[in-house]
Structure 1
């Protein structure tokens, strides 16, 4: 069983390591204003119907744990209407197969009745209630919960890019969504611990590294990098007048009392989950000939993972788990990233950076987010990043097609910490 909040030292024992996987679980259930499409990955990949077989695939990998999203919009159909039937069945099956769920409570989307989405004034209390009800059902049996996956990306798509509700398109909207999200994370974490003090709140965010060779963009790159850490900094009480974003946050409409509230009752970051992809994570900033900011995402090597591990440990001093990583393309390309990234984890552990787990995510292909606002058929939006491919048969059914990556990953999971080496007993950065 995954260690409880009282047993977390077990994770940093020299021979301990957590291998994991998961099913992509983005839930944007508000229909797109123009296309009418929703983005429920479980629906689009047929997981609602094939959940039992998909969980059996997890078991074949030999993973001791797996991240698994709970579709809040199906659990709480109306403010006073609850239906845990799907969630109960899936989580019970994982437990029966000795796979400890790391429950993903919110993965971008909210129930349809939550007006104004994350800017609803009741959002923090509503999500805390949802978390507590689920935790009560599995008290003592499920110990790890992610209050909200990728708060920064959520705030970006909901508050700055305008793709998802509440469709904000400004930095002030980004900040407003971020503050509400973080209040929800705090309330959720407290509600979980009230149900069971042994629960681990696993805080997961996307990791980007911003760079620029243009001296004129140096300050902007620093600001963007500080924003990468903003959610974790807020919930752990690190944002005060000395924080590099303090003045910027106030200019974007954040109120001092709202910022100070996080410092009054900070959360402990017991374990940090980092999501990183060689195709997305490295951001190189430049200006085009018209002076517009441009950001390229060149393919990164395992050295980027090493840099990220050092950055997060130096900043927070907490154990770190790779909560998502994969790459798109051929099986050979995916195998190369698997080998490169595992080697980077080994390097970090040898340096004393407590990398305690690795998650290949997703276990099979996902449907790209552009599907929701697009018009092309679903099969044109499949992004093959998994250990299994999704292959549409003539009837449109998405078959799970095993690739050689399945055996490669099973060899890693069967060896425990052997593939990544022992963790240096005294964590110390060079």
Structure 2
């Protein structure tokens, strides 16, 4: 009986474990092990909650960095990030305390934290505006906001030229809605015109800030964190206000990425204060830099409106995958899961794994998912009521509690990191290493 090809191979090269197979062949790595930080490595991250809106018509500032003890324990917090094995941190400098007046800055706290982050080898995604502005700017209704904020972004980029990843304005849509349509933060308006005014100012601020950052870092990577939302209406006859709300959730990204909204939304914009000249300005083209579409997803982002008008939180009916896939098809941008948590510490590990299943499914669809973020590192305060009142209730949603003791989700995240920490953004992602070349070409072909 003649020899088969396997016999010939065995005689020449041995019985498996062939030399060379370790380089991405049958003997290659499986992606396990803590994140390496190498270019192309999937970005596992956490964040430090840093919201600072005002309530009580500007009389009370909710600074979560202060309320959660970060100003006193920032070194300990950064070490927790390092010890967990994470290489990436969403971090917000307190804009309202740093930018003291036009051309005047207080860098004392920022310099200390940024130096330690650099020493520890942590890559920050630097969050420049997180739900509030300095008192001297006022609120999001101020048309000078884009100019003042661009000046601040330029100053940050010059002071920390080693930083490449930025979120210029966190959750533009949420910031504008809660401040100017829901009447909770900052200007505390409840009008459509106030909402559109805040939204256009914040989006313009993000665009102008990105231009200033790009002057210092032409290769800047912009992670635009935005809330992935949906309202399910269980009525035979739909309510127009709810239906347009499901379209308005795209509005900040439409203006940011120069994506023309549909006629109903455009009419709404023009009816509520956006001029044709302003609209044309937004549609001229998207901001500079490499753009990543970050989608924040909490179970409470999905709402069900019952026939009697009652609203209940649906917790994961569509989930991050289905909602974000809709955003991806609209904008065709690389994706990152930029925020998630639950307020029940015992449910948190299961929620973490559910989010990871969503990411794995998105990857199987061929969508480039660059990273995942459990938000936040430590517990938060009063986010169950969106910071509307200063109650002081601890929300046990962190990887660590306010005493910096690990919660069960910290161990679950460590297990996830050890299993998947060295996977690449897409298979053979090393081939497409993040380049230092400045961003230039913008195409949709």
Conservation of the 8 A alpha-carbon contact between 1:132 and 1:192: yes
Alignment of 1:209-288 (within 5 A): 209-217=230-238, 219-239=240-260, 242-267=262-287, 270-278=291-299, 280-286=300-306, 288=308
Partner of 1:407: 411
- TM-score, normalised to structure 2's length? 0.82
1:184 and 1:55, CA in 2 relative to 1: closer, same or farther beyond 3 A? same
The counterpart of 1:206, out of the listed 221, 227, 243, is 227
For the residue of structure 2 that corresponds to 1:353, the secondary structure is coil
Residues 419 and 295 (structure 1 numbering): CA distance in 2 closer, same or farther, change over 3 Å? farther
Write the distance in 2 (CA, Å) between the matches of 1:423 and 1:316: 22
Q: Secondary structure at the match of 2:89?
A: strand
Question: Structure 1 residues 95 and 281 mapped into 2: Cα distance closer, same or farther (>3 Å)?
Answer: same
Match in the other structure for 1:393:
none
For residue 282 of structure 1, report the CA deviation from its aligned partner: 0.9
Q: Which residue of 1 aligns with 2:212?
A: 191
Q: Say whether 1:128 aligns with 2:144.
A: no
Distance 1:170 1:287 in 2: 26
Residue 137 of structure 1: aligned partner: 159
Match of 1:25 in 2: 50
RMSD: 2.4
Larger radius of gyration: 2
In the TM superposition, what are the counterparts of 1:5-24 in structure 2 within 5 Å? 16-24=41-49
Q: Deviations over 1:363-420 (max 9, x none)?
A: 11101144865364x2xx1101011122xxxxxxxx1221232222123224445689
Residue 65 in structure 1 maps to residue 88 in structure 2: yes
Distance, in Å, in 2 between the alignment partners of 1:154 and 1:105 is 13
Question: 1:403, 1:383 → 2: CA distance?
Answer: 12
Tell me the residue number matched to 2:167.
146
Within 2, Cα distance between the matches of 1:388 and 1:168? 35
Structure 2 unpaired stretches of 5+? 1-37, 430-445
User: Which structure 1 residue ranges, 5 or more long, are not aligned?
Assistant: 1-12, 391-398, 426-430
Match of 1:99 in 2: 122
Q: Is the 8 A contact 2:55 2:388 kept in 1?
A: no
TM-fit CA distance, 1:197: 0.4
How many residue pairs were aligned? 390
Q: Is the 8 A contact 1:346 1:419 kept in 2?
A: no
TM-score, normalised via structure 1 length: 0.85
